[in-house]
Structure 1
Amino acid sequence: MRFQPVPLLLRDGRSALIREATRADGPALLALERAQVIARHGVVKRLDELPEDAEAFLAQREAAGLHRLDGHAFPLVVTDAHGALLGEASVLRQGFQMLRHTGVLGIGVHPSAQGLGAGRALMVHLLTWVRTHRDADGGAVTRVELHVRADNTKALALYRSLGFVIEGTQRAHLRIDEGTYVDGILMGLLLDTPEA
């Protein structure tokens, strides 16, 4: 099932649109990721670890399967009224059959658009899309998981408010620029109660 675009009113009064991401979004998605890395909040990459150009970035997304239309990936973006990309979120399903019911969630909002409701709206619509999808054989995503830095308190609060629970802590998971270690948090959300 394809995602039907949804209009959104941001907290600053601007109109926006949540829609399915396409290959054409590659350059804007790379620019978004660069802006997030430069802002240095909540990310685990450095600028020199990003692809040099949009083609290389797009190749990485394609290799991950983010543009497949068979229920393997659920990629969304939010754009303003002028088409500028404000954020993105996706759920990417695991490839192995025994893990096919699990999707890994990633989300990023441009630093200039944070706090305007774009991230929450992306998450709500993305989770609704994932919940309603059924594979041709009836399969579905019943578990969504994500990783978040322990010092990203705003993201942790958002995820908790949407029903995600902390399932584990990776102690000293990353080392930030100043040499300080930060824990990583694994969170999960069960969309349906799986049978044990």
Structure 2
Amino acid sequence: MSVSENNSVCTIRIGEIEDAEKILEVKNAVISEGKYLISVSEEVNNTLEQQREWLESLLENEKGTLLVAEVNGHLVGWIVFHSQDRKRMSHIGSITMMISQNYRGMGIGKNLVKALINWAEKHPTIEKVSLGVFSTNHRAIALYKSMGFIEEGRKIREFKINENEYIDDILMYKLVK
């Protein structure tokens, strides 16, 4: 738990099936911004039932987790860890994080990443946490670097935004064991 500069209380907890609707709302709002995600709005049309099914499968997976951030009781962001099923990749996984626009810059992302790293460090098999981030998402890159993530590669012109605009995908990692 932490307190932001406006005395709002931020709580990080494990996500639950009952969070599906709010998680979907955050996801749809962030995607609709069109700035820093691979998906665009017209590609994402998950129903609430599909979101619940995704959450259920994630929460049943011993090598994955979902953490949510609440400010004064309202779900405003989340981070998910996806693990690999293949034996030779079972020690790694990747994260995806989304935070409602009005709650960025308050330390919520840092709290989510910190809680996720803490979870991964305690996990018996997870050794490496990875992520991909748009090269234009300077705030996220700075956050990940401040949390000990290291750039391990870059996929050049990985995302085509329009006819003449491309964005690189920066690959980052943090060893937790």
Give TM-score, length-normalised by structure 2. 0.93
The farther-off stretch of 98-107 and 70-79 is 70-79
Question: Could you tell me which residue of structure 1 aligns to residue 96 of structure 2?
Answer: 106
Unaligned stretches of 5+ residues in structure 1: 1-6, 135-139
Secondary structure, in 3 states, of the residue corresponding to 1:37? Answer: helix
Question: Could you tell me which residue of structure 1 aligns to residue 145 of structure 2?
Answer: 160
Deviation at 1:43, TM superposition (A): 1.3
Pick from 149, 169, 175 the counterpart of residue 184 of structure 1: 169
Say if 1:178 and 1:152 are closer, same or farther in 2 by CA, change over 3 A: farther
Q: Distance in 1 between matches of 2:44 and 2:54?
A: 10
Q: Which runs of 4+ in 1 moved over 6 A?
A: none
Equivalenced residue count is: 177
Instruction: Note the 1:139-150 alignment, pairs <5 A.
Output: 140-150=125-135
Deviation at 1:16, TM superposition (A): 2.0
Higher helix share: 2
Deviation at 1:52, TM superposition (A): 4.1
Instruction: Note the 1:23-42 alignment, pairs <5 A.
Output: 23-42=17-36
Pick from 62, 71, 75 the counterpart of residue 80 of structure 1: 71
* % identical equivalent positions: 25
Q: Distance in 2 between matches of 1:177 and 1:80?
A: 36
Secondary structure, in 3 states, of the residue corresponding to 1:176? Answer: strand
1:20 and 1:76 in contact (8 A); partners too: yes
Secondary structure, in 3 states, of the residue corresponding to 2:13? Answer: strand
Could you report, residue by residue, the CA deviation over 1:12-31 in whole angstroms, capped at 9, with x for unpaired residues? 22012110001111111110
Q: Which amino acid letter does the alignment assign opposite residue 39 of structure 2?
A: K
Could you report, residue by residue, the CA deviation over 1:66-85 in whole angstroms, capped at 9, with x for unpaired residues? 121x522121000122x321
Deviation at 1:110, TM superposition (A): 0.7
- Give me the CA root mean square deviation: 1.5
Give TM-score, length-normalised by structure 1. 0.85
Unaligned stretches of 5+ residues in structure 2: none
Question: Could you tell me which residue of structure 2 aligns to residue 46 of structure 1?
Answer: 40
Deviation at 1:94, TM superposition (A): 0.7
